[in-house]
Chain A
Amino acid sequence: MENLFKPLAMAAAMTIAPTLSLADDWAPPGPITMMIGFSAGGGADTQARLIAQGLEEKYGWKVLPQQLTGNSGLSLAAELAKAPADGSVIGMVVSETLTYSALAVGDPGLQLENFTSLATTAKFELGLVAMAGGAFDSWDKVATAGTEGTPIRFGIASDRQGDVAYLFGQAVGIDWNIVPVKGGAGVMNGLRGGDLDLGWVAGAQSKPVQQGEMVNIASGIQTALTDSPDAPLITDLGSPFVIDGYFMFIAPGDLAPQARTAIGAAISDVINDPATEANALITKSFGGPDVITGDALDTRMQQLLDDAAHLLEQANAS
């Protein structure tokens, strides 16, 4: 995987090279406030701060990270919507915030079309995680226990994960006890403390899985997981939905195209440069950079939005 990834990163870097000249034409009007929709100290927060550090080092932009958590990233979105659309304020969320969560809330001001998508940083390496050596460390064990009626405590970190878990359970005939907790770190703490049996984690499980403390018993995305290529896909096990998505940067709506291109390119440059700490972290803990910008990103977000609408429809119907 490592061998495949390096040429890819190079290729990505080369496609960005021409746009760098555009980036040179644009400079932020002052310090950039970077709102972070994740709780301080977690993996996603560290990622955001290292990208801020990279932007300062490589571009000389002054970046001020600021925590703005709550309501699955929508608190951040609401605050960002009020900020000036001149590149002086950006925010880091997950694609889920502006797709599933925004749709579920229904506030017209918080919908995807009111924001400018800048760049994704990494895709979810979302796995169904359990403690290694425990009673649920393979899908067979889970399925057997579930059909026998053993209560299984299933940790989720967002409503969307809850809906997918619920519909997955319906499809395989298991009635999970679905437990909403705080973030992937909350799921892993619950697993370690014996308060949970299973849970979705969107990348932060990488280290414990590599160290043999936890296992990915299934992949929650369309493809196999980098850390556990042999784990089955949940769609193969019967789940009608996956939990794919990205960590990404957004800006207020109607951001000038020049600013959008410049910031997107700068973020992409920082993440794809193997010399930056941001790149090292994303490679180590998030399955490697996965940067999408510009029109390609708009297309991808529209796909995710359609999927989310479908999921909500199914979840509400059942």
Chain B
Amino acid sequence: MTEILDYIWLGVLAVFQGPQLFSLLGFAIPAAPVMVLAGLLVGIAVGATPGLAGPMAMAIALPILISIFGFTPDALLPVFGFLIGIMKGATVGGAVPAILFNMPGTPDALMTTLDGYPMAQRGQPKRALRIAQLSSVTGDTFSDIVLFVCAPFLAVMVEAYLDLPEKTALLILSISFIAAVMGGSVGKGLLSVGLGLIAAFVGTGQALVPRLTGGVEGLSNGFSLVGAILGVLILGEIFKSIEDMMQRDRAQPATQRRDTSAVQDGLQPGDMRRIAPHVARSAVIGTIIGALPGVGSTLAATLSYTVGRKRHEKRRKDSDPGFGEGAPEGIASTEASNSAVSGANLIPVLSLGIPGNAAAVFLILAADSIGGFNPGPAVFKFTAPAINPELVTAFGIFTLMVIGNLLNWTIGGRFMRSMGVLARVPGQILLPAVLLLTLTAIYVQETSLFALWVTFGFGILGYLFRRSEVPVLPFVIAFILARPLEQTAREAFAATGGDPWFLFSSPTSVIFTVAAIASVAFLSRK
């Protein structure tokens, strides 16, 4: 027990005694907490801008951060701090344009428009924003606590009970599950996963000659991770948005504000009591859904909203607004739940090394680029007296998340309410700026023009995916998991003495394998 406390303390120290950013009046200002704040503000701004999302900002920021902080393990916490800040800020910021202009800033804020916008129309935009912020931060904090408790526990369990064949089966299960639950159809999910695996197998492998390169020398080390992921996720999105803009005039009807000066704005007495049960329920729903890799925050928000509406209808007095008419309970249900997803989403990443959403993808990418931290079960080894530096980093990350939540509670709300103006940035300015930033960021990290061509190639692929409604994220997650999957499968095969049926060598691996098949088989029948 004292070991765990020691490690928590070391993690806190790592954050506050890490590399200093600058010194103020003789006090060294540690980089990591400052980066959390900077990330949080950027995240809120990005979330408040329709058309931009947290992962996009994380993608652009990552190469720039790495070029600032370098590749030493000292860089890990400041870089993670910024990324975590963006992640937390964007979930809060997404509510701003949803409430003020009926435009969701991030996809998971869609349900927030249903009650937030009517409330703002009634002359209470500040009240709506305040409720959104409180619910969002509470949901986030709750799921972070679950993460802190569950991730180490789950990791230790995995390491203690899973052998190589079971680990292989678990990876197969995760990939199949992600293919099955993301996007419109299982078939398209599987297609996306399959292409991701093929792309990742180029130039890798254990033979001394690189495979599948078609003789192209630039590919002998495979597609660069940054180029492929940013290409599919960001360039693809930009290409699609440009096409959308060309096809339709995006003139928005001017929103009319009714004269509402008589209505009192701001948090009303009794609001907290009204939303508390909805926040609590939604936080739990969001956390459970978030812990499953690949199931997005949109589902969590929809589910919580639906459950919340049923409960609300039973108890509501006639004078209270119903869901969809500007009910504070509606905002609370959505925001608490979609924010709770973000913390819980890190459970599979930190404990198993399996990313469940785009934000987690970029945390893995950061760890991979900097080195010295390999998310997965090996992190949570409580060694003594020797210190396990990866475990210290893990507790450092937890500390950063706590700092992020505290900042979100306090200054996040104020900053958020000043961000309404960003919803008015036109796409003609936004998209080229994002494109330029992305390409610059990739060039900064890879310093080769070939990497830019790779990025463009994957951008076109991402565009085609979006045109044919094939989900993009399974591609990216499969691309990341392909190497661990191949490696563990090879190891399992060799360790069982070349048994081709190693996936069926123990009850646990049989269960995982059957579950993988079942997830694809049953979820395709909707």
Contact = CB atoms under 8 A, between A and B. Distances in A.
Interface of A: 39-41, 45, 49, 65, 67-72, 74-75, 78, 101, 104-105, 107, 151, 153, 159, 177-182, 189-190, 192-196, 207-208, 211, 213
Contacts of B491: 179-181, 190, 195
A208 B381 CA distance: 14
A189 B484 CA distance: 14
Contact of A72 (B72, B208, B378, B385): B208
Nearest to A193: B159
B494 A65 contact: no
A41 B495 contact: no
Contact of B208 (A39, A41, A104, A193): A104
B418 interface: no
Interface of B: 71-73, 159-160, 163-164, 167, 203-204, 206-210, 217, 220-222, 370-374, 377-378, 381, 383, 385-386, 487, 490-491, 494-498
B386 A177 contact: no
Given A40-B371, A192-B378, A193-B159, A180 B220 contact: no
A102 to B, nearest CB: 9
Given A153-B495, A193-B378, A41 B371 contact: yes
Contacts of A68: 221
A179 B494 contact: yes
A101 B207 CA distance: 10
A285 to B, nearest CB: 13
A40 B72 CA distance: 9
B386 A74 contact: no
24 contacts: A39-B371, A41-B373, A67-B71, A67-B371, A68-B221, A70-B221, A71-B208, A75-B210, A104-B208, A153-B495, A159-B208, A177-B495, A179-B491, A179-B494, A180-B206, A180-B490, A181-B487, A181-B491, A182-B487, A189-B378, A190-B491, A192-B378, A192-B381, A193-B378
A45 B371 contact: yes
A75 B220 contact: yes
B455 to A, nearest CB: 19
A177 B220 contact: no
Interface centre among A178, A190, A193, A211 (most CB of B within 10 A): A193
B495 A74 contact: no
Nearest to B163: A195
A142 B334 CA distance: 59
Contacts of A78: 217, 220
Interface centre among B208, B372, B378 (most CB of A within 10 A): B208
Interface centre among A39, A75, A179, A213 (most CB of B within 10 A): A179
Question: Secondary structure at chain A's binding surface: helix, strand, loop or mixed?
Answer: mixed
Given A40-B371, A40-B372, A182-B487, A105 B208 contact: yes
A195 B372 CA distance: 22
B71 A40 contact: yes
A39 B368 CA distance: 10
Contacts of A190: 491
B506 to A, nearest CB: 13
Contacts of A211: 385-386
Contacts of B496: 151, 177
Contacts of B490: 180
A195 B495 contact: yes
Top 6 A-B residue pairs of the complex, sorted by shortest distance between their CB atoms:
A40-B371, A41-B371, A41-B372, A179-B494, A105-B208, A153-B495
Contacts of A195: 163-164, 167, 491, 495
B274 to A, nearest CB: 50
Nearest to B493: A179
A28 to B, nearest CB: 19
Contacts of A179: 491, 494-495
Given A71-B209, A194-B163, A151 B71 contact: no
Given A193-B378, A195-B495, 7 more contacts: A70-B222, A74-B208, A151-B497, A153-B494, A180-B491, A181-B487, A182-B487
A75 B221 contact: yes
A80 to B, nearest CB: 13
A178 B220 contact: no
